[in-house]
Amino acid sequence: MALWGGRFEGGVDAFTQEFGASLEVDKNMAQQDIRGSIAHATMLAEQGIISDEDRAAIVDGLTQISAEIEAGAFVWDVNDEDVHMAIERTLTERIGTAGARLHTGRSRNDQVATDIRLLAKDLCDELLESNHELRRVLADVAEANMDVVMPGYTHLQHAQPVLFSHHMLAYFWMFARDATRLEAARTAADANPLGAAALAGTTYPLDRARTTELLGFSRTIPNSLDAVSDRDYLLDLEYACAVSMMHLSRLCEEIVLWSSSEFGYITLSDSYSTGSSIMPQKKNPDFAELTRGKCGRVYGDLMALLTTCKSLPLAYNKDLQECKEGPLDAAHTLADCMAIMAGMLETMRVNEAVMLSQAGTGFSAATDVADYLAKHGMPFREAHAVVGHLVLECEKRGCGLEDLTLDELRAASSLFEADIVGSLDPAGIARARTTYGGTGNSAVAAQLAEARATL
């Protein structure tokens, strides 16, 4: 019989019981449920609501159950509706009446809300560790390739030469922002709903500040209705995961391109590649592609929860049982993808010569040639037009700006001198951009130091 079955004459249909159960998902927060129950029992005893003997029996029993769950020795009963009932039933079977007193002054509504908030905090902590490791790897890759020059792109067309390390650090800062979002999600979850009971509070003299302290929450939720019905913090977590997956997907797209024959900028480790069942020569960037694909899955988790919550009246509704699987999936998917990305980056080979050879193609020196004229007195808009005409002529002849003679350049503008050669060298072009945040070697070295400091 269900713990709530006293009001019912008939039994629950087997299918409806299975349909309404959430035990498999709930197992993920078994330890959080036990932490919440121990804090609740401790507070009840301190308030004189249950005896110290009952508290001791409850804490000892829950500690034993916790150890069994951790060791994989706990026997789950498929007839239990959820993890809360599974643990409470087992506890009561083992310690008797004391176990039945554990739920005094508590509803499953505030119990579930407490468990999920504790779980959300734990998930954020784990994701922040993974995020930190990925940023460390990005900084390491940047430092190991400080002098590698590659084409910078806009619209996936050659734009201006940049340092490969500068490109890697751009992703470092993306993931740094992701860490900020995860920290905000953790802060949102860090509030105690325990003591709100079903929706209206309770007549028992509970000390909610005490359970807030015992469970390590930073604050107590001031409204009992809001306490049991709020899942905004899970939306915050899923949004943080979705944005981070989007950043991973962007980087994966570049890895897929860079490892292709057309680019050849990097060579992935065999450990992060797969082959073909029919084409012996293939080395596919499957794990980058799979990470890119999983981005949509995490987006789906966010949209599912937004849709679930959009029309719910206060306070608790059974719809909210659907709020747990998505955040778990989003967090676990993101953690796995960050680990895959860190491994790919750490083991790939950067093909420096290929990148440098491509950095000089596609008229990537054009802006610096225009700047050369502007620095010699020509208005930049005029310089832009002069260099645009030179590019057009080069396209017609099938050559690059670097192939033009000084006489041919001077035919376009008498301001050109022999020192124009320095404005055509990809490494020199990159090295010259020394403003804060620029791609010049000294600027990137300063940026790397700043990135390291954030770690």
Runs of H (alpha helix) within 360-399: 366-375, 380-397
3-state secondary structure of 152: strand
Q: Is 118 left (phi over 0), alpha (psi -120 to 50) or beta?
A: alpha
93 and 235 fall within a common domain: no
| CA 80, chain centre distance (Å) | 33
Residue at which a domain ends, from 329, 357, 385: 357
| pLDDT tens figures, 23-35 | 889 899 999 999 9
pLDDT in the model for residue 3: 57
pLDDT in the model for residue 421: 82
138 and 49 fall within a common domain: no
Contact 350, 259 (CB under 8 A): no
Q: Is residue 221 a part of any domain in this protein?
A: no
191 and 293 fall within a common domain: yes
3-state secondary structure of 235: helix
Q: Is residue 443 a part of any domain in this protein?
A: no
Q: What average pLDDT does range 356-379 have in this prediction?
A: 91
9 and 36 fall within a common domain: yes
Record the pTM.
0.91
Q: Is residue 217 a part of any domain in this protein?
A: no
**What CATH number should be reported for the domain holding residue 87?**
1.10.275.10
pLDDT in the model for residue 17: 63
Question: Residues with catalytic annotation?
Answer: 155, 276
Question: Residue 19: pLDDT above 80?
Answer: no
92 and 118 fall within a common domain: no
130 and 178 fall within a common domain: yes
97 and 140 fall within a common domain: no
Q: Is residue 91 a part of any domain in this protein?
A: yes
Rounded Cα gap, residues 240 and 234, in angstroms: 10
91 and 64 fall within a common domain: yes
pLDDT in the model for residue 242: 98
Question: Residue 358: pLDDT above 60?
Answer: yes
Q: What average pLDDT does range 328-352 have in this prediction?
A: 98
Rounded Cα gap, residues 455 and 453, in angstroms: 5
What is 327-349 written as a DSSP string? HHHHHHHHHHHHHHHHHHHHHPE
| pLDDT tens figures, 160-175 | 999 999 999 999 999 9
266 and 192 fall within a common domain: yes
Q: How confident is the model at residue 278 (pLDDT cuts 50, 70, 90)?
A: confident
Number of structural domains in the chain: 3
Question: Residue 132: pLDDT above 70?
Answer: yes
134 and 90 fall within a common domain: no
| pLDDT tens figures, 55-112 | 999 999 999 999 999 999 999 988 888 999 999 999 999 999 999 999 999 999 999 9
Q: Is residue 235 a part of any domain in this protein?
A: yes
Rounded Cα gap, residues 138 and 168, in angstroms: 6
Nearest alpha-carbon partner for 166 in 427, 387, 454: 427
424 φ/ψ angles, rounded to the nearest 5 degrees: -110, -5
For residue 151, what are the domain limits? 112-205+228-357
Hey, CA dihedral for 13, 14, 17, 18, is it positive or negative?
Answer: negative
Of the chain, the percentage scoring pLDDT greater than 90 comes to 86
pLDDT in the model for residue 6: 60
Hey, CA dihedral for 392, 398, 404, 407, is it positive or negative?
Answer: negative
| pLDDT tens figures, 265-276 | 999 999 999 888
Question: Residue 1: pLDDT above 60?
Answer: no
99 and 119 fall within a common domain: no
pLDDT in the model for residue 81: 86
Q: What average pLDDT does range 185-196 have in this prediction?
A: 98
Enter the tokens of residue 409. 């350049």
Amino acid at 290: L
pLDDT in the model for residue 99: 96
404 φ/ψ angles, rounded to the nearest 5 degrees: -75, 145
Question: Residue 9: pLDDT above 70?
Answer: no
Enter the tokens of residue 58. 């409850």
Question: Residue 131: pLDDT above 70?
Answer: yes
97 and 160 fall within a common domain: no
Nearest alpha-carbon partner for 350 in 135, 148, 153: 148
3-state secondary structure of 259: coil
Helix H or strand E encompassing 21 = none
